[in-house]
Structure 1
Amino acid sequence: MKSSQSPAEQETARAKAEAQEKRRELMEQASNAAQSAKDSMQQAGQQIKEKAQVATEAVKNATGMKK
């Protein structure tokens, strides 16, 4: 059975499929990187919040404001 596409058309279709797969892979990598950055920022924010709470309690204790 003979293909109805010329060799150039077949090559173009193959290149397009490869480009689409590469795009999908890059989008997945970008999504994973964004999720990782989000998780890191949330963790850092939580650590800062906890340190601020400890510092606030220390100031309250030092100034006698703690009840």
Structure 2
Amino acid sequence: MSSIQQEFNTGKTQAQAQGKTEELVQSMKDTGNEGKERTAEAAQCASESAHQGKDQAAGFLQQTGEQMRNMAQETVATVKSTLGIGEKK
């Protein structure tokens, strides 16, 4: 093979290698961007889930508080009635 042919083949191989390298770099960038997007989506879902859980917990605590208040009022009414100091009808 002539030296010109060898130089041509070497140049061709280098160009192909550079093209593959650029493809790999772009692929890695794309993969990184996908990872960022998925992480952001997961964080958003976690935030929404936490907010929903917080709302449910607040509702449960409010309901429990109301039940406790009602039970206390019933207890007071029963004690008053038993002692004869309840409301007269």
Normalized against structure 1, the TM-score is what? 0.86
Number of residue-to-residue matches in the alignment = 63
TM-aligned CA deviation for residue 51 of structure 1: 0.7
Instruction: Provide the identity percentage.
Output: 22
2-structure distance, mates of 1:16, 1:38: 33
2-structure distance, mates of 1:45, 1:27: 27
Matched to 1:40, the amino acid is: F
Q: Who is 1:50 aligned against? A: 70
1-structure distance, mates of 2:86, 2:56: 39
Runs in 1 of length 4+ with deviation above 4 angstroms? none
Q: Who is 1:17 aligned against? A: 37
2-structure distance, mates of 1:7, 1:13: 10
2-structure distance, mates of 1:47, 1:61: 21
Secondary structure of 1:14's match? helix
Do residues 40 (structure 1) and 40 (structure 2) align?
no
Root-mean-square deviation (Å): 1.2
